[in-house]
Every structure is written in structure tokens, then in C-alpha cells.
Structure 1
């Protein structure tokens, strides 16, 4: 295996990536939507948005891949950032750079790869948009142009997300390894510790804007059967897809959380319980609207949700608010699942 060379401008390249401030941040619904479109357009098993951060390759967006990151030294994308052109590998088994790469010899058994660089604010190549498949193939001229178009769109989305994170104060409050510890590595949603980190800021905003603090507690219905019947690999892909659909269904200012296992949460500031219930129903519809396609499986997935609201002055550490939503979730399960109940 030929390890990628480190670019001569690596220090400046890493600085450009750092100023984007999007490594180890939650999944971006717009990037996820672009990747869903790309997966269909290229008819590929896997599409990724990768960022080369130090000695690792981290996935800002992914379809058809349960890994959240890989070592940089085995990364195809670390080769692709060496040049502005699309790097295409028709059959990795025949390419001396990759034929004994562990990603070729083992899971995910890469055969075809095509990657195009993505850029930071100062124009350095910080990562790639890439298309991967388990069978040898080649891009058509039209597909190569589509890759360039997707790269431009994703570059633009990087800048939009950087602005949004700055407005939310995440650049000041959560840095580097600390921020990484607050993210669920599978779904790239905030975890329970992330919720506790962010809650005080939401409470202060609610007090300032005279809003209620709302919480949605959600649990996938009959998820254990998916793991038992199809394996934890398929179960993980379902959780990733659910996280992406949930993130796309809520408002930009809402906080999406994976609470653990198949349990999810949303922290939201609302003017009324009715407004929170509307958000919860939108999540329910987003999860059940289309079957989840994983390999040869087409899975009907549903979710049960409980909602609760409190005045900001009563929230404290959030335990009572979450418990109220959890009790409402229990009522939703008892009512037959796939529904929203208020606490």
C-alpha cells in the first residue's frame, strides 16, 4: 500500500480547515440531502463528504457508510487532495497504490473510487466529495461534470454552516476534542453530555425571548427486531438514516440528540405546546414517509414521540422536563406506537 504524501502546504491547509470550524459538528441536513441526490444520480453504494484533519479522515456527511472516520494513512481521499482534478480509480485491486489497502482487502471492499477536492475559505484543499462502489466502473463525461457541480455546492454549504455555527456560539463554547466528546459518533448528533452542555444557553435564550423550553423524547418502534433479524450493521444504518431524517425535519435552531440506543431527543424553544407538537408530528411523518433502503432491504420504520414544555425559570438541569417527555413517550407506546403524545 502506498501511503499518501503530506502536502507541502499542510500547515496552511490545516489552518484553513480549522477556520471552517465544522469538524466534529452535528450532521448538516443540506449536505445529507445533497448526498442522497448524489447516491441516486451516480447509482453508487457510497457517497461521502470527507475532511482530512490531522492524522484522520473524518466524514462530514455519508451515505452507505457506517464508519465515522478512518486513519488518514489508508484514506483514498488523502491522495485525491494532492491535485484539483478528479481522482478516479476504476478498480482498486489493480491500482498499486490501493490493492493491498485494508479498505480494499476488507470492509467496505472498495473497488471503484472517484474523488474531487473541497475547499476552505482561503482555497486550500481540505477534503473531498467522493463516490465509492463495490464493483469496478468508470465515470462518464456527464458524471464528471456532476461531480464538479456537487463539489461547488458543498463548498458553498461549508460556508453557510460556518456562519450558522458562529451565530449559535458553538465556535466559542465548544472546541476540538471537547466538541468531539459531545457528539454521537454513529449518527453525528449531539449526545446526552452535549445536551447538558447546550441546555443552559437555550434556557437563557428562552428567558430573554420569553419562550417555553420544549423537549421531544422519541423512540424507534420495534427496533430490536431489526437488529435481531438483520444484524447490528443494518441496525446502525437505520439509526444513521433516522438521525438524518430527524435533523431535516426540525428547525435550524433546534437541537437534535441521540440519547442512546434507539432513543432520540429534540430540544426546542417554542411559544406554545402546540408548536412543539407540530415539530414532533413533522418528525414522525419524516421517519415513516419512505422505507429505509439498506442493501437489498426496504424497511418500514416508525417512531413514537412524547413532548413536554416548561417555563425557562423552572427548567434547572432539565431532568424534570426530560422525564415529563419520557412519560408522554410511554403513553405513545401504550397507545399503539407511531404517534405523538403530550406530557
Structure 2
């Protein structure tokens, strides 16, 4: 059986026999999970954003996973293992798209669960007991995804570094069996363990991820150095659980406590992203992942990783703001308005509270662009945005739909109780005459307003009603407002006098 397996992956029998002997000497197959290996695969999966990360060891007839993240299976047949090919290499093996690779296109792991498409595996070499000091690939540290991907040179280097950490752990284990024979070899083992620990701490610093353990019986905490660093605390004894929770703002604290209780009660993995305040009072963003560790079938502890994701969160928030914001006025754009209107309408109906929608058109905007130039037009749009975000409108939501069209959602009960007064004030604020040479271009806003009532079935209907009111106001006179379903138009108190002087 060993001979057939060797023939399939192309290793000479003598080398494969020595490799399997070295693997057996490690005494690692079918051993319980170990914190160091588990942390490294979690770091790998999070760092590269992949679905799965594994420490895979290739036996005669199977590949067995010493550590895994994102996969339930403990082993697969060797004939299906991508790692059987990776251990033949001296360096990283990358498969960008398994469906395009004739070696793997028909593989059950590609055609069925876990539907592998991308694979990158770095061989893990361990020194054997032979006099020539030869080393053999026991398996790989690999990352897997369900979509095609490429691996940048920087990511490839990071995967190699993490694989070196796993190799250090494996070689330390191999050295232990030999080092027990003599005191000299024992000192060598200690030095290697120190190097491994320093490399492990370096990996935590590089990825800003620390590891933690919470013992359930006494709520005792164990933290790696990076967890202390994220908290802004000196390395030592971690605080008790209730003190550790005080690093979270009140609302986030309740979420963390509830998530911990849920994981302990159900065994479901913990994955929570929250706000956080370190010991220096700095606002941070962190992600906590954890799972239940069983002992004799009984929950014994929670083990997991803790990551400072502040910079990533800031970038994501900036990208989200960019996608939702009109670049010129910094108001919300049409997409953000559509989302907000749906949310506000749902909330208003659920709570039975009022809501009104205001459509605003600028009058003479084209004249400003034609006569004073587009720079003057842009400055006018920014001035309108300032008026629509004035302090008294802080509870309203304003957006630019495009061109000279703006919109506002009003939910303030006091404002809606006297909507005509709000419209008069807005009409006055939106009279923004533009001086051009010896002339003045009168600029005003015309507004159509509509209430959310029982006849409005959706956002489109509410927009339609506001548009009809806007049409009514425009037909009456520029610089006025109309409310859908009500006769007459609204003019600001001093509009006629101001427009007369501007003319």
C-alpha cells in the first residue's frame, strides 16, 4: 500500500520510507489540538482573508490536520490531497484556480465540499534521524479559498514566514525526543524553544493578533504578549474577566458578555467586532474570535484570538463614506438617500411617528453656470449644502440627488407639527444671490413637500407625491414651497422684498 501511494505522487520509495519514519518519530498524528498550531492557522486565515487555513501532515494513506481553521473535517484521503503535490516541492506551491489545473480539476474536494478553487501550500520540513542530516517534508501550512485568487510576493513571503514558525514547532518536537538523551542536546532544545517563542511573538506583533484563554471553572484568564499590548497594559497577570470587560464601552461591553455566554451555552464559535478603549484612553476597534475547548467531553475553556483592527476599520469606514457621499457637497448621495429613506419609513411606520420628504430645486442654477462659470456653480452648491446642514436641521437627513436637486427627510415632531414654518425658513436660507460683474443673479430654492401617510405604499410613492408638490410650487412661482394635498403655496416672509432688491 505504501508503494502504491509513493508511486502516485512520484517520490522514490527510499525517500518516502525515511519521510514516513520521521513523521512517526514525531509522535504527532492523531494528537489533541495545540494552542500554538491553532493560533498560527487562525493568523494565516485572517491575514490572507481565506476561507480555510490548515497545518496538514501527509501520512501513507491520508492527510491529517494538526490544526485547522474554517474546516470541519479532520483528514482526507491522500489521493485527494493537494498537499501530496506540495511536499514534492522545495518552495511554495500555488494553484490560482483548481478547475483550470489538470491535476485537480476532477478532484472531489474541488467538485464537492469544500469546493476548493485557490490553494497555496508551503512544505514543512523536519530533520530526520539519518546521519546525513537530511530533512523531509511532513506536510504543509496551506491556505484555501472557494474562489480563484493570486498571491502577491508580499503575501507569499508572509506565508513562508508563518510556515517557518510551524517548522520550528515540529523540529522542536523532533529534537525533544533526541535531546532527552543528553544534557547538551537538552540545552539545544531550550535554545530552539526560545527562538520559536520569539518568532511566535514576532508573528503576533506583525499581524497585531494575540491569543487568549478563559478557563470556565474559575474565569481565569491567560493572555499572550500581544493581548497585553493591545490593551495598553504591561505584561504580567491579566485582569479578572469583569475588569477586562470594562475596556469596552457600555453597549459593546454588553455585546461581548452576551456573545461569551452564547458561545459557552451553545458551543457555537465566537466572532465579534466591537469598539474598545485601551488603558491610555485611546478609542480602538477590535475583533475577538473564540471557541469552546472540551476536556473529557465537557466545556473546559474558551480559547481564541484577539486582534486590533483599528486601521482596517478606519479604511473601511472611509471607503464606505466615499461610496455614500457626494464628492462636491459632502452630503449623502442618491444611493445613500435611497437606503436611508427606506429605513426611516420603516421606523416611522413601526413607531407610528410622522415623517415628511422635501424635494428642493435650485432656481437659476443654469444661469449661474452659464454667466459666472462652473466654479461659481460649484461654490453655490456647497453653500446650499451648508444651509441644509445648519445646526437647527441636525436631526434631518439631507442629500444631493444630482445637478441642482436636493432632498431632505424630516422626522422631528416639532418641525413637522408646523411644517410651513420650516419651509419658510428654508426658503429664506436658500436665497443665495450671486454677484457677477455689475449684475446680481437671483438664486432661490423651490420646495415640494409630502407627508408619509397611510396612502403612501412605498418610497417611490412618497417621492412622487413630493414631486407633484414641487411641480405645484414651480407653477405658482419660483422660490416658493407647496405641500402635497394642500391648496396654495408657501412663501418666506421677506422673499418678495429680497427678490425685488436682487432683480
Q: 1:146 aligns with which of 154, 158, 168?
A: 158
CA RMSD of aligned residues (A): 3.3
| Structure 1 residue 155 displacement after superposition | 0.5
| Structure 1 residue 242 displacement after superposition | 2.3
Please state if 1:23 is matched with 2:29.
yes
| Cα distance change of structure 1 residues 289 and 113 upon mapping to structure 2, 3 Å threshold | closer
| Cα distance change of structure 1 residues 258 and 167 upon mapping to structure 2, 3 Å threshold | farther
Separation of aligned partners in 1, 2:103 and 2:177: 38
Q: Which residue number corresponds to residue 183 of structure 1?
A: none
| Structure 1 residue 158 displacement after superposition | 1.3
Q: Which residue number corresponds to residue 34 of structure 1?
A: 40
Please state if 1:7 is matched with 2:11.
yes
CA contact (8 A) 1:119 1:155 kept: yes
Q: 1:259 aligns with which of 296, 304, 317?
A: 296
| Structure 1 residue 56 displacement after superposition | 0.5
Query: Does 1 or 2 have the higher relative contact order (CA < 8 Å, sep 6+)?
Result: 1
| Structure 1 residue 27 displacement after superposition | 1.1
For 1:138, what is the secondary structure of its paired residue?
Answer: coil
CA contact (8 A) 2:122 2:141 kept: yes
The residue correspondences of 1:119-268 to structure 2 (distance < 5 A) are 119-122=125-128, 123-162=135-174, 242-243=291-292, 246=293, 257-260=294-297, 263-265=298-300
Q: Which residue number corresponds to residue 47 of structure 1?
A: 53
Separation of aligned partners in 2, 1:138 and 1:18: 35
Separation of aligned partners in 2, 1:62 and 1:165: 25
Separation of aligned partners in 1, 2:25 and 2:62: 17
Separation of aligned partners in 2, 1:287 and 1:49: 17
CA contact (8 A) 2:87 2:140 kept: yes
CA contact (8 A) 2:39 2:305 kept: no
| Structure 1 residue 86 displacement after superposition | 1.1
Q: Which residue number corresponds to residue 101 of structure 2?
A: 95
Stretches of 4+ aligned residues off by more than 2 angstroms: 159-168, 220-227, 240-243, 257-260, 286-290
CA contact (8 A) 1:23 1:60 kept: yes
| Cα distance change of structure 1 residues 117 and 4 upon mapping to structure 2, 3 Å threshold | farther
Separation of aligned partners in 2, 1:50 and 1:74: 13
After superposition, give the CA deviation of every residue in 1:170-213 in whole Å (9 maximum; x if it has no partner).
xxxxxxxxxxxxxxxxxxxxxxxxxxxxxxxxxxxxxxxxxxxx
Separation of aligned partners in 2, 1:164 and 1:30: 17
Q: Tell me how many residue pairs correspond in the alignment.
A: 197
| Cα distance change of structure 1 residues 163 and 142 upon mapping to structure 2, 3 Å threshold | same
Please state if 1:77 is matched with 2:89.
no
| Structure 1 residue 163 displacement after superposition | 6.1
Q: 1:61 aligns with which of 59, 63, 67?
A: 67
| Cα distance change of structure 1 residues 90 and 25 upon mapping to structure 2, 3 Å threshold | same
Separation of aligned partners in 1, 2:43 and 2:304: 18
Separation of aligned partners in 2, 1:163 and 1:29: 19
For 2:291, what is the secondary structure of its paired residue?
Answer: helix
- Structure 2: runs of 5 or more not aligned: 1-6, 129-134, 181-259, 272-288, 308-503
| Structure 1 residue 26 displacement after superposition | 1.4
| Structure 1 residue 159 displacement after superposition | 2.8
| Structure 1 residue 4 displacement after superposition | 4.7
Separation of aligned partners in 1, 2:149 and 2:41: 19
For 2:115, what is the secondary structure of its paired residue?
Answer: coil
For 1:242, what is the secondary structure of its paired residue?
Answer: strand
For 1:58, what is the secondary structure of its paired residue?
Answer: strand
Q: Which residue number corresponds to residue 112 of structure 1?
A: 118
**Could you tell me the TM-score, scaled by structure 2's length?**
0.35
Larger Rg: 2
**Could you tell me the TM-score, scaled by structure 1's length?**
0.51
After superposition, give the CA deviation of every residue in 1:21-52 in whole Å (9 maximum; x if it has no partner).
11111111111111111112111111111001
- Structure 1: runs of 5 or more not aligned: 169-219, 228-233, 247-256, 266-282, 291-343
